[in-house]
């Protein structure tokens, strides 16, 4: 697959650095990220609150953060930590707009509640431009990051560590808090994003692994979305007055019923994800590495 970095308008990115060794997967790992930024910029130029544009930009930020986690596991230091922190701050600035839209869609579709009609919430002024510039600069820094040694072996070590982190972060039960499941999802995505660009990803066994990780992170994402919907509805319950026909359940009884339904659905998804995760992460990291990363 040809890297997006090799195509206009991203060719200057690669031209600023010498050719990488054949076993260095960094161009493949980071290659799709500038394309996401480019698509996001086009969408947001038309509408600063475009949902798909914001989503693509946040995905680019999160993918870049995951790659810096891999880099940190190879060479710990302030550089990767600083890069992850700045990308995280940029993603959080874009989060409220995206989170509110997702939560309200859930309330409309899953709970059949007609939420108030609102114009999409735009991100803070300048946040999207700064986020796009930050991602593109981070790609350049990632490509130039000095590794302890060349070749594919350090990246095998990094991916094995990512698997070990995801395995260790798996909560003990579905009663664990929302934060624990959200933290687990982050480690699952770190592993998924790293594996997606691995040279042997086209093998059938590898494709099945990627599909299973995607199913798991989508399930954990559903649980997180339900948590956001719960927070929005719970916060609205504290409003002093509820106007008739404002779209939210007007009585306390209706709100309690809606919150119970959200909580039950969230626990159901947590249970499904745990059962799936125990099968997916049932083997130690050494066995995972031998099965999927060693030729």
- Residues 260-273 have pLDDT tens digits of 888 899 999 999 99
User: How much is the pLDDT for 251?
Assistant: 67
Provide mean pLDDT across the span 286-292.
89
User: How much is the pLDDT for 284?
Assistant: 93
- CA of residue 228 relative to chain centroid, distance: 16
Burial class (CB in 10 A: 0-12, 13-18, 19+), 159: buried
- Indicate the range of 16-25, 145-154, 178-187 predicted with least confidence: 16-25
User: How much is the pLDDT for 60?
Assistant: 92
DSSP 251-266: SHHHHHHHHHHHHHHH
User: How much is the pLDDT for 237?
Assistant: 59
3-state DSSP assignment of residue 133: helix
- Residue 161 in tokens: 């560590």
More confident residue, 40 or 122: 40
CA distance linking residue 271 with residue 54, whole number of Å: 30
Helix axes 51-74, 127-144, angle to 10 degrees: 30
More confident residue, 156 or 9: 156
Share of the chain above pLDDT 90, in %: 31
**Which phi and psi (to 5°) does residue 170 adopt?**
-60, 125
The per-residue pLDDT of the chain, averaged, comes to 80
């Amino acid at each position: 697959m040809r890297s997006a970095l090799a195509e206009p308008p991203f060719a200057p990115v690669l031209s600023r650095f010498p050719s990488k060794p054949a076993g260095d997967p960094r161009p493949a790992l980071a290659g799709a990220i500038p394309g996401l930024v480019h698509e996001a910029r086009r969408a947001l130029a038309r509408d600063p609150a475009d949902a798909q544009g914001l989503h693509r930009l946040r995905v680019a930020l999160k993918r870049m953060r995951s790659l810096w986690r891999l880099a940190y596991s190879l060479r710990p230091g302030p550089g990767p930590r600083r890069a992850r922190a700045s990308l995280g701050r940029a993603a959080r600035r874009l989060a409220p707009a995206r989170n509110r839209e997702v939560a309200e869609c859930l309330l409309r579709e899953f709970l059949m509640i007609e939420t108030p009609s609102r114009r999409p919430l735009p991100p803070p002024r300048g946040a999207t431009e700064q986020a796009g510039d930050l991602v593109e600069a981070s790609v350049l820094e990632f490509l130039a990051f000095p590794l302890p040694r060349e070749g594919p072996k350090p990246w095998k070590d990094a991916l094995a560590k990512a698997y070990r982190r995801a395995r260790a972060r798996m909560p003990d039960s579905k009663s664990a808090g929302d934060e624990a499941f959200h933290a687990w999802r982050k480690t699952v995505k770190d592993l998924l994003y790293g594996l997606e660009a691995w040279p042997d990803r086209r093998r059938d066994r590898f494709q099945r692994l990627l599909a299973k990780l995607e199913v798991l992170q989508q399930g954990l994402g559903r649980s997180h979305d339900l948590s956001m919907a719960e927070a929005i509805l719970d916060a609205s319950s504290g409003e002093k007055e509820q106007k008739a026909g404002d779209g939210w359940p007007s009585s306390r009884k209706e709100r309690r019923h809606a919150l119970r339904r959200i909580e039950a659905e969230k626990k159901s998804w947590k249970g499904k994800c745990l059962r799936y995760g125990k099968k997916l992460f049932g083997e130690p990291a050494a066995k995972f590495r031998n099965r999927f990363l060693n030729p």
